[in-house]
Structure 1
Amino acid sequence: MPPAPPDSRPVDPARHAPGLDTLRVLAIVLVLGFHYPREGAPEWFAAAAGFGWAGVDLFFVLSGFLIGRQLLAPLAHGERPRLGAFCLRRLLRVLPAYWVVLAVYALVPGAREQEAMAPLWSFLTFTQNFGLEGGAFSHAWSLCIEEHFYLALPLLVLALTGRVRWRGVGVLVLGLVLLGIAVRMGLWWAHLEAPPPGASLGRIYRQWIYYPTWGRMDGLLAGVVLALVHTFRPALWRRWVRAPLGAALLTGVCLGLAGPLCAENKTLASSALVFPLLSLGFAALVVLALTDAGARVLGRLPGARWLAGVTYCVYLSHKLVIHAVHGVLAEHGMGAYHPVTLLVSVACVLAVAALLHLGVERPFLRLRERWGRPPVRQALAATA
């Protein structure tokens, strides 16, 4: 295949990809909007914020793509993944900041956004997302799914290395998607079709379908499929990133179909299909961000690289910070949507995230670069 002309050269995701930074920022903005108090919200904000939970699905797709390439890159170079180094890198990436925020939740109950909280052992073992009914630090459910993914994917890669052809990979992926749909449909029929009188339908839905790992692997799987194509089918990947219009069209179709299901997310149809549709749409959006045209549009957000670097710390700490800011300003008669409250909330969320990043996360990231370097330098590790 001849090289692409200079004006249409696709972005190489082995280097820094500013479009992915913008997608990280978009994901955390969606999550912040969803978790911001709705009481007194303008109608337009309340309507838009209701879709903010989908930001986690965008994070899942990005994570599946970046982590998948870390594990698959050695295989493309004839090496076996070093699982010890992989696990060390993941631990040094995830645990330090998480433990700091968890310590605040556990030791300073007055700082929590809600009084009730799941048992501490469930946070330490990353099993909090099973049977979860809400409470303080409930948003850590997504970290549980990420940790389960970090355990399952390396084992699956090792088990299937050299044994499965591309047709088999396609069958496996389709089977996993259909299995997820079947599991969610079965759980809907078992728990949501005829809920007990007076029971909260939202709570039942979150407990059985939204939070558990078995219902939320679609986004990570979509990201891993992107990683497989990027790593082992570079010619196909180049065709994808030279077709921004196709990626944009697929993004629009999938997210357009998912929109009504997001709005009515406790129905059988939504429980079955909304997560696969969101995952496919966000996977296409990732491809779009890595095209030359996508990078020109999405890669121009000022400060996106810095904001993307602190999204994990923002995600961990934002509920604590917003709760504290609102508690202080409410004493001065300023509600959640007072201009001062909004500005101070955003500023404090970013400031606390920056402190957590500089004081805890970054030192351990430096440590992992010394202790857990991946065997293939071309793997994009630092941004995962």
Structure 2
Amino acid sequence: MLTHTEFMAMRRFPALDGLRAVAAVIVVVSHFAGPRWTWVSGWVGVYIFFVLSGFLITTLLLREQSSAGRISLKSFYIRRVFRILPPYLVILGFIVLFCALRGEFYSREFPTALPYYLTFFNEFLPEANPTGPNNFFSGSWTLGIEEKFYLFWPVLIVVVGVAAVKRRIAVAVAALAAMVLLIPFTGGWIMDYSLTLLYESTVHYAILLLGALLAVLMHNERTFALVAPLTHPLAAIPVVGGFLLLHVNMTDLWASTRNNLWLLLGYAVLVALLLVVLVSRGPVRWLLSTAPMRFVGDRSYSLYLIQGVAHFIVVLAIPRFAVNGTSTAIVVVVVSLLMADLVYRWFEQPAISLGRKIVKRYKPQPGPPAEPLPAPAQVPSTA
């Protein structure tokens, strides 16, 4: 089994890069592969991203707090701005320019959409523009959710400060409970196939906080013992098996339950358990840590955002790919990945490096560690 000492000494969680790769690719497959691939349940890939984000961001913050004695919100927000905004704005700008050159800036209603995209209120656009045409950026609604989480959750952790572990857990549980209790007031538990209600529901913040709660539990040695049994190699069998069983049936269950949000929460819990398996030794971690998986995982953010316009360009070049199917999905994944690779190399990586340099210029001297660490812990690079 994985020990707490080994977990805290990890500099990277490479298998989580691979999981991001899987999540991004199945999202694209769900959009363009046609009805024969509904079992892939790619639409829930965004909920894998949510659990991952909650876990990684909270791990980053707690490790900084433990090693430096405090959390620098300024440093955190600078890193987030330089991590998220450059690819986001580059891809949005490319899509707007592409549509403008085709004379479709107004017909695709960008004057209505841009205020939402530029202020990260993306998830509220469908309600404001229910009959709006496809503008190739509608998938960015998830960024509106994540940006609000990044804005408020770190502040809560700073308010808790270097308090006892019980208080950290209490804050995470209370925040999670609050988001669950608000679900009836933000659309209800049954969506009845309404994407507008789904986008605006607080269930997404609850799912992000499930990942955050897992990070809090794993950060402390005493509470790490609660999840330690899942780090045994044999534990991967029921966890991975249960996750796959639910995942391939999610689309049917989602339809048959009229989009019951308890289904999403249950799925998120299984994803959280899967994360424990993926940071532990075993064949699943090895598979998702391979170089090809990490390559796609590193580019998953841009791949996710650029898939719509990539499909449109593919159809312009080869009209037969206007019909969704297996070959269409494969070509769109490849073209999206090639375009994402350009964004990653030319904008994403340089911006991340610049953000780190800015942070280093005024990084405060570390104080005494709040919790003694068994080994130097660094922020996982997948965050």
What does 1:1-384 correspond to in 2, within 5 Å? 14-36=10-32, 38=34, 41=35, 43=36, 45=37, 47-49=38-40, 51-77=41-67, 79-109=69-99, 110=102, 115-117=108-110, 118-132=112-126, 133=130, 135-136=134-135, 137-163=137-163, 165-166=165-166, 168-188=167-187, 201-202=192-193, 205-208=194-197, 210-212=198-200, 214-233=202-221, 235-236=224-225, 239-240=228-229, 242-246=231-235, 248-253=237-242, 256=245, 262-265=251-254, 270-294=259-283, 297-299=286-288, 301-330=290-319, 333=320, 335-336=322-323, 341=328, 343-373=330-360, 378-384=377-383
For 2:187 and 2:257, locate their aligned partners in 1 and report how far apart those are by CA, in whole Å: 6
Listed one character per residue, the Cα deviations across residues 104-144 of structure 1 (whole Å, up to 9, x for unaligned) are 23333249899345521111110121252474211111111
The answer as to whether partners of 2:59 and 2:215 remain within 8 angstroms in 1 is yes
In 2, Cα distance between equivalents of 1:173 and 1:268: 29
**Structure 1 residue matching 2:254: 3-state secondary structure:** coil
Compared CA separation, residues 366 and 183, structure 1 to 2 (3 A)? same
Give the distance between the partners of 1:178 and 1:3, measured in 2 at CA.
30
Matches of 1:339 and 1:163, distance apart in 2: 52
Q: Look up the match of 1:196.
A: none
Q: Using a 3 Å threshold, how does the CA distance of structure 1 residues 253 and 226 change in structure 2: closer, same or farther?
A: same
Q: Report the alpha carbon displacement of residue 102 of structure 1 after superposing the two structures with TM.
A: 1.1
- C-alpha contact 2:2 2:232 (8 A) present in aligned 1: no
Runs (5+) with no aligned partner, structure 2: 367-375
How far apart are the structure 2 equivalents of 1:281 and 1:139?
24
| Conserved? CA contact 1:251–1:280, under 8 Å | no
Which amino acid in structure 2 is aligned with residue 322 of structure 1? Answer: H
- Give, in angstroms, the shift of residue 274 of structure 1: 1.9
1:131 & 1:96 partners in 2: Cα distance? 22
Looking at structure 1, the residues matched to 257 and 176 of structure 2 have their Cα atoms a distance apart, in angstroms, of: 16
Kindly state the Cα deviation for residue 344 of structure 1 after the two structures are TM-superposed: 3.8
Measured after TM superposition, the shift of residue 368 of structure 1 is 1.9
User: C-alpha separation between the residues in 1 aligned to 2:185 and 2:2?
Assistant: 49
1:198 equivalent in structure 2: none
My pick for the range that moved more, 60-69 or 337-346, is 337-346
TM-score computed with the length of structure 1 as normaliser: 0.80
Residue aligning to 1:195: none
Mapped to 1, the partners of 2:272 and 2:47 lie a distance apart of: 10
* Aligned mates of 2:237, 2:300 — CA distance in 1: 25
Q: With structure 2 as the length reference, what TM-score do the two structures score? A: 0.80
The alpha carbon displacement at 1:36 in A equals 1.5
8 Å contact kept, 1:65–1:227: yes
Q: Could you tell which deviates more after superposition, 77-86 or 238-247? A: 238-247
Secondary structure of 1:372's partner? helix
Deviations 1:149-174 (A, max 9, x none): 111111110122245652x5445444
Q: Percent identity?
A: 25
3-state SS, counterpart of residue 380 of structure 1: coil
Q: More deviation in 120-129 or 101-110?
A: 101-110
Rounded Cα–Cα distance in structure 1 between residues aligned with 2:323 and 2:283: 35
- Partner SS, residue 265 of structure 1: helix
Q: Mark the CA change 1:138 to 1:262 in structure 2 (over 3 Å): closer, same or farther.
A: same
CA contact (8 A) 1:72 1:231 kept: yes
Amino acid in structure 2 at the alignment position of 1:161: G
Shift of 1:86: 0.6
Q: Which amino acid aligns with 2:124?
A: F
- Measured against aligned partners, the alpha-carbon deviations of 1:310-342 in whole angstroms (never above 9, x if no partner) come to 111111111111111012201xx4554678755
Give the 3 Å change call, closer, same or farther, for CA 186–294 of structure 1 in structure 2: farther
Q: Give secondary structure in 2 for the equivalent of 1:383.
A: coil
Aligned equivalents of 1:310 and 1:74: distance in 2?
Answer: 25
Opposite residue 236 of structure 1, the aligned amino acid is A
Instruction: Give the superposition deviation at 1:183.
Output: 3.1
Q: Distance in 2 between matches of 1:249 and 1:340?
A: 33
Task: Tell me how far apart the structure 2 counterparts of residues 189 and 213 of structure 1 sit (CA, whole Å).
Answer: 8
Counterparts of 1:281 and 1:296 in 2: how far apart (Å)?
16
Aligned in 2, Cα 1:131/1:300: closer, same or farther, shift over 3 Å? Answer: closer
**Structure 1: segments with no counterpart, 5+ residues:** 193-200
Pairwise CA distance, 1:222: 1.8
